[in-house]
Chain A
Amino acid sequence: MDGTELAGQILYTWLTLVFGLILLPSAFGVSLGISEIYMKILVKTLEWATLRIETGVAKQSALKNSASIGIIQRDESPMEKGLSGLRGRDFELSDVFYFSKKGLEAIVEDEVTQRFSSEELVSWNLLTRTNVNFQYVSPRLTAVWVLGVIVRYCVLLPLRLTLAFIGISLFVIGTTLVGQLPRNRLKNLLSELVHLTCCRICVRALSGTIHYHNRQYRPQKGGICVANHTSPIDVLILTTDGCYTMVGQVHGGLMGIIQRAMVKACPHVWFERSEMKDRHLVIKRLKEHIAHKKELPILIFPEGTCINNTSVMMFKKGSFEIGGTIHPVAIKYNPQFGDAFWNSSKYNIVSYLLRVMTSWAIVCDVWYMPPMTREEGEDAVQFANRVKSAIAVQGGLTELPWDGGLKRAKVKDAFKEEQQKNYSKMIVGNGSLKSELD
């Protein structure tokens, strides 16, 4: 056989393997257990690597033990204690120290900026990109690392790209075909089948291992599903377990093709960029959508931007003004196997996807939570905060009051006024003044 025939044979065998071992089982929602074996080997290897690193550096001075402790020693006592005074004490020249120290602390480390960069790992997971401050340990570790690079780039990456390509093409073709049918039950069934199959294929394309918890609380028709946002993959992870109505902006390019294809099979709500600015229009359309109670649940990410999965930031109240039942979902990724966070200011979507496809795997937990509705006398903001706390507690994430949009915009003056009010109360007291003594 000459070269091209050989290449053809290899390609043929390769595709048959992929089809038989991955695609067919996906269509039926069955797992052959190959990815489980892969994960077991991976976990064992990483454990071994961690042990090697720990014995290697134990000889040196003590290392940090947890990546979640901040890098500076903080004194979180309230303003009164920080200014070493009680109410009604006088202004002193030294008061400026308190504010300058707090200000400089914020410059060195603040709660918000660190949420927009990838979480640091406690121990290295054999990926170059996470090697922040792990030292060279031993030749064996290097050998394993090299092996890891070869496996990831030469074996896993082509496989994943093939799967992704097949998954997306099948999706576009499938939804276009289903879209030809008139709106009836058969169409819905087929559209669900196409959705689920292609999502499963795409999840395999990322070597995703997803654990769903509390599936009895899966979002129902006519409801709204809210979740914390880490990356575009969140959508994939949620739709593998059920169909949702997507809400979002119309994009161009590949995303646009996918969006237009999706809309043919089942009704999604896509907005033009200009329409997105008009909040009332958005809310009106969403209200119309859930009024039927027979439509698939709407999927919304109220944070509005991708956060690095260590915390939950302010939920925008718009989603909570629509009414209806809210089904909260908490998504937590395990950073040991691959970083799912999309840092949109650092990477564009293509390089992000490549990074994800050259990680070990995407492992995450999805918790479905009992539905919540707005209570009497509760306004949208309070309701949003309540849902946010519930999601944070369930997912083991910290809660922050800051707006995720801070990475692009300035903070509101109202927060500064609160600080000023606190301080004034201290030095002026409740109206009694030093000037009385003059």
Chain B
Amino acid sequence: MGSRSSHAARIPDVDSLRRETGFSQASLRRLYDRFQALDRTGKGYLSRLDLQQIGALAVNPLGDRIIDSFFPDGSLRLDFPGFVRVLAHFRPVDEEEEGNRDPKEPEPLNSRMNKLRFAFQLYDLDRDGKISRHEMLQALRLMVGVQVTEEQLESIADRTVQEADEDGDGAVSFLEFAKSLEKMNIEQKMSIRILK
């Protein structure tokens, strides 16, 4: 027995995580349970292998890149705050929250710009702020596997870079990336709603 808060108290720094990510207490608890379920050996943190063992993620063509986004700067351990920070990018945008937001506070993790940044870094491997033609090719190769020939892929990559590139430097910067997707409903495409 006992009230709900005794379970939330198991989560370290739950209040600062709530502020930072915007997740509700119930959602954080769900995510903490999930974090512990993925941590099969009870280490207290997640390694790449723990995420790779998720079947549905391992068959995802971008699976390895997505796992990389959880381990920035070559780190090998993923703790719970890091786990939730990445997932916070996919929190659905709450209209009311947007209206009430204090402009002096840093942008919430699930803002449109931050969602776009997450998608951008799936392409931009060397983190130089630009998607070069080569990086575009690599991402495409991951998504199509061996099904498409090199020439076909190169032409697709060239076309995509040309369409998005405005300043003619042969690469797509973050602003050009954001501009080419300005009409897209990012909020809906990159949102995961936690039900309970």
Residue numbers of A with Cβ under 8 A of B are: 64, 69-73, 90-114, 117, 128, 131-133, 135-136, 141-142, 145, 345, 402, 406-407, 410-411, 415-421, 423-425, 427-428, 433-435, 438
CB-CB contacts of B154-170 with A at 8 A, as 1s and 0s?
A: 01100110001000000
Q: Do residues A100 and B62 form an inter-chain contact, with CB atoms below 8 A?
A: yes
Contact at A133–B160, with CB atoms within 8 Å?
no
The residues of B that contact A427 with a CB separation of less than 8 Å are 144, 156
Compute how far the CA of A133 lies from the CA of B28 in the bound complex, rounded to whole angstroms: 13
B87 touches A108 (CB 8 A): yes
Task: Please report the total number of B residues contacting A with Cβ < 8 Å.
Answer: 64
**With A101-B190, A103-B57 given, is the CB distance from A420 to B1 under 8 Å?**
no
Contacts of A71 in B (CB 8 A): 30, 194-196
Q: A103-B66, A345-B41, A410-B53 are in contact. List 13 more A-B contacts (CB 8 A).
A: A72-B192, A96-B143, A97-B186, A100-B66, A103-B62, A106-B60, A107-B38, A110-B57, A135-B3, A411-B58, A424-B147, A435-B155, A438-B155
Cα of A420 to Cα of B139 in the assembled complex, Å: 12
When distances are taken between beta carbons in the complex, the residues of chain A under 8 Å from B11 are none
What are 13 A-B contacts defined by CB distance under 8 Å? A71-B194, A72-B195, A91-B140, A92-B160, A106-B57, A107-B38, A107-B54, A108-B31, A112-B56, A133-B26, A411-B59, A420-B143, A428-B144
Q: Which residues of A contact B66 (CB under 8 A)?
A: 99-100, 103-104, 107
Contact A93 B61, CB 8 Å, known A100-B190, A133-B7: no
Q: How far is the CB of B52 from chain A (nearest CB, A)?
A: 6
Dominant SS among interface residues on chain B? helix
Interface segment among B13-21, B94-102, B106-114, B118-126: the answer is B118-126
Interface string of B125-140 (1 = CB under 8 A from A): 0000000000000011
From A116, which residue of chain B is reached at the shortest CB distance? B37
Q: Mark B46-71, 1 if CB is under 8 A from A, else 0.
A: 00000111111111111100100000
In the complex, the answer to whether B56 meets A110 with C-beta atoms within 8 Å is yes
CB B81 to nearest CB in A, in angstroms, measures 15
Least Cβ distance of A382 to chain B in Å?
21
- The complex places the Cα of A419 from the Cα of B177 at a distance, in Å, of 25
Residues of B contacting A73 in the complex (Cβ-Cβ under 8 angstroms): 192-193, 195
Q: Which of A99, A103, A424 has the most CB of B within 10 A?
A: A103
**A109 — nearest CB in chain B belongs to which residue?**
B34
Max chain A Cβ within 10 angstroms of own Cβ: one of B55, B86, B147, B184 = B55
**In the complex, what distance in Å separates the CA atom of A407 from the CA atom of B53?**
7
State whether B196 touches A97 (Cβ < 8 A). no
Q: Which residues of B contact A406 (CB under 8 A)?
A: 53, 55
Give the A-binding residues of B (Cβ under 8 A).
1-4, 7, 26, 29-31, 34, 37-38, 40-41, 51-63, 66, 86-87, 90, 118-119, 122-123, 139-140, 143-148, 151-152, 155-156, 159-160, 164, 172, 177, 180-181, 184, 186, 189-196
Q: B3 → chain A, closest Cβ, in Å? A: 5
Residues from chain B with Cβ under 8 Å of A105 in the complex: 56, 192
* Interfacial chain B residues near A135, Cβ < 8 Å: 3-4
Q: When the two chains form their complex, are residues B60 and A416 in contact, meaning their CB atoms are under 8 A apart?
A: yes
Q: Tell me if A402 and B145 are in contact (CB < 8 A).
A: no
Smallest beta-carbon distance B82→chain A, Å:
13
Contacts of A136 in B (CB 8 A): 1-3
**A97-B57 contact in complex given A107-B87, A420-B143, C-beta closer than 8 Å:** no
A73→B37 CA distance, assembly (Å) = 20
**Do A434 and B159 have beta carbons less than 8 Å apart?**
yes
B155/A434 in contact, CB under 8 A:
yes
